[in-house]
Structure 1
């Protein structure tokens, strides 16, 4: 029986299958299909020519969650929050990491104010009920959000980490109303994602889960159906950001736990190789098509943080995500990064990239950093040192 792993990158989709009985490997590389990621995965599975009835498990790593957040290409989310706390995503945090940075800019919330609904209810910090939930507020708020055309719903009430009773009640009311009206809209509650305090961080984490949930649910459903049709009878698993794995059913509900699924799989693979060669302290470097990642591993143990920031840089605090994520550093420079000239004439590469469509220069459909790297070599090195096919008499 084979165990099959498949990973989606910015330009390529890779598949590796391991035969538990013989120890043989099957490795296949195919093109990623950005407009329909499932197509690239299925093409790669078909290209492997494996008998899927002899595969016991499929383990999937992807960058769909993180890329959807970075490119803001997720669902239209409606947020229910405690009355008086409508601006929790707008206010964020008053403190800055660098108070003297005049280029600092607060990140734009993923839910605009007009799609945030206040509900009368109140839970105290000790978990006690100060004011009961008003069901009519939930129903009226749902009517408003449905008219706005929301595709996903998030519920995050004050102090629900201490007592989630009102979130559970509100979710039940919304589910009943959606069923009556014939809507199939996913619902995320903050207490199901994290039971830690800090209202902004917890709410933002739940909102980002709601933001990517419809896309991930649809994507994983397509993969399941298509691979089952190939004769597969085993179990589907997804890599998580903490280095573990979970079933597709779990990731459909809580995709934010797989925010760095693909890159973290690379770290775990690097640790396995380090152990094989007898090294305990290593730097795992993962050069991808869009970004390059690095992770410092000490004593074969990766560092895990419970608060991760998407899109953080020296000018932007990023979006907090309170889920366990292995520590990685990431730069926007990969195999398909676009070369460009900035305002003062300096050559820059990245962070924008060609991806798989039109792809790197070798695809013959556009161009990535490959051409740029070649030109730099020509400028700084004697062309006589290059092979004949690499010379250009016009430079």
Structure 2
């Protein structure tokens, strides 16, 4: 009898990874570039050769594109709050990032004190009037944030019931001991914003696996390392699930992990946890492994600083259209510096995508920028090597300063390009065989499921 298989799936902003494991050993892996390949079709194609073998369980870490955290791209959500605190979310975030349209912000005259006593009862007429306005605006989702509702949820439950009776989808903050109202409310608002996109992706994944595995055997992972299936309001926790899986699947737990992924460079501390995420929308209550996003990222833009010297911007360029070496991008990014390196074109997900025309366009752009720089260095080879060295040294220094343990493990698809600087460090181990997000999702998912049984 053949051993049953485990399937790990990690969906990121621009790439998706699939891994099949047999007895914890990698059997097959694939990475797809989502701007060029369909998620459902790619997943179906990946599992097709194994249809005669039993895929016992599938574990999925699902991260939606960051741009869809904007309500203007992911659909409208009405926000209903206690009168007097209806602007708290906007105040605690940045002016550039809002979670709803101003026309969909409502307040109600109700008040529950910190000890749970009702000072001002909720009037059902107010909720019904807001529900009518929301329906007229063709909005389907309502986010409720009432002051001190964690202590006494009576008003919250009443409002939720009325909105649901009107056919609206209602989001309420999770119950917790966290006294910081705004961090709970921001998480609730982000869950509501992402719910539609999250549901669509889940549906696409279910369809891609329909012929290979029963839906009841498909589990999703959140940032705390917990599994869920059809539960709602788990969207924010899913944003960090793959990074938590990378740390949790490392059974030794005695070294920090520097993950050099195509979409992000992150330093993960497997033995430490944090309870909040300082997001652009303000603090968000979310339990996850302690993770530091490095200043050097794979798609950072290249520019001249105020001294007229080459430097990297603080903004990442998107993978759609992507770095210039892919042929469609119009802006230089850090990875373009390695466009002539054969190792780049061999990375899973980028095979056969490196464009000679795109590489030449990058070189022309770099040369043009050099002519107006203070250095005026027209030796492209020398300039490229200098910028490569600058980026790798910054990466190494930041990871050394930020890591929580003496030991460090370096892995990820871009490790072959960036990890050489760590080879002389006796406390650093470079994992030659890539330990990818989908594989760690499967390994930790299996452990989490076993522990839950």
TM-score, normalisation: structure 1 = 0.75
**Are the aligned partners of 1:9 and 1:32 in contact in 2 as well (CA < 8 Å)?**
no
1:148 Cα deviation after fit: 3.1
Assess, with a 3 A threshold, how the Cα gap between structure 1 residues 268 and 327 changes in structure 2: closer, same or farther.
Answer: same
Q: What corresponds to 2:19 in structure 1?
A: 16
**For 2:200, which of 215, 218, 225 is the aligned residue?**
218
2:336 aligned with 1:371, yes or no? yes
The number of aligned residues is: 341
Q: What corresponds to 1:267 in structure 2?
A: 247
Q: More displaced, 5-14 or 206-215?
A: 5-14
Q: What corresponds to 2:63 in structure 1?
A: 63
Q: What corresponds to 2:39 in structure 1?
A: 40
Quick one: distance in 2 between partners of 1:4 and 1:58?
5
Which string of whole-angstrom CA distances, capped at 9 and with x for unpartnered residues, describes residues 313-371 of structure 1?
A: xxxxx521112121101136443444334555343445544554334455444475333
What secondary structure sits across from 1:207 in the alignment?
helix
**For 1:186, which of 150, 156, 169 is the aligned residue?**
169
Alignment of 1:101-250 (within 5 A): 108-178=97-167, 185-190=168-173, 192=174, 194-232=176-214, 234-242=216-224, 244-250=225-231
Which string of whole-angstrom CA distances, capped at 9 and with x for unpartnered residues, describes residues 167-216 of structure 1?
A: 111111001112xxxxxx432112x3545223322222211111111111
Assess, with a 3 A threshold, how the Cα gap between structure 1 residues 85 and 334 changes in structure 2: closer, same or farther.
Answer: closer
Which string of whole-angstrom CA distances, capped at 9 and with x for unpartnered residues, describes residues 33-73 of structure 1?
A: 2599xx32640451343228711111111321755337974
2:233 aligned with 1:253, yes or no? yes
Which string of whole-angstrom CA distances, capped at 9 and with x for unpartnered residues, describes residues 198-256 of structure 1?
A: 332222221111111111122212222331244545512122112x1322312x33312
What secondary structure sits across from 2:50 in the alignment?
coil
What secondary structure sits across from 1:27 in the alignment?
strand
TM-score, normalisation: structure 2 = 0.66
**For 1:340, which of 303, 309, 326 is the aligned residue?**
303
Assess, with a 3 A threshold, how the Cα gap between structure 1 residues 163 and 381 changes in structure 2: closer, same or farther.
Answer: closer
Q: Which runs of 5+ in 1 are unaligned?
A: 94-104, 179-184, 312-317, 383-395
Quick one: distance in 1 between partners of 2:96 and 2:318?
25
Assess, with a 3 A threshold, how the Cα gap between structure 1 residues 253 and 11 changes in structure 2: closer, same or farther.
Answer: closer
Q: What corresponds to 2:396 in structure 1?
A: none
Quick one: distance in 2 between partners of 1:177 and 1:381?
63
Q: What corresponds to 2:6 in structure 1?
A: 3
Quick one: distance in 2 between partners of 1:363 and 1:371?
9
1:146 Cα deviation after fit: 2.7
What secondary structure sits across from 1:90 in the alignment?
helix
RMSD over aligned Cα, in angstroms? Answer: 3.1
1:81 Cα deviation after fit: 1.0
2:89 aligned with 1:89, yes or no? yes
Q: What corresponds to 2:321 in structure 1?
A: 358
Which string of whole-angstrom CA distances, capped at 9 and with x for unpartnered residues, describes residues 16-38 of structure 1?
A: 11123xx54223223232599xx
Quick one: distance in 1 between partners of 2:279 and 2:143?
19
2:313 aligned with 1:309, yes or no? no
Q: More displaced, 287-296 or 330-339?
A: 330-339
Assess, with a 3 A threshold, how the Cα gap between structure 1 residues 372 and 195 changes in structure 2: closer, same or farther.
Answer: same
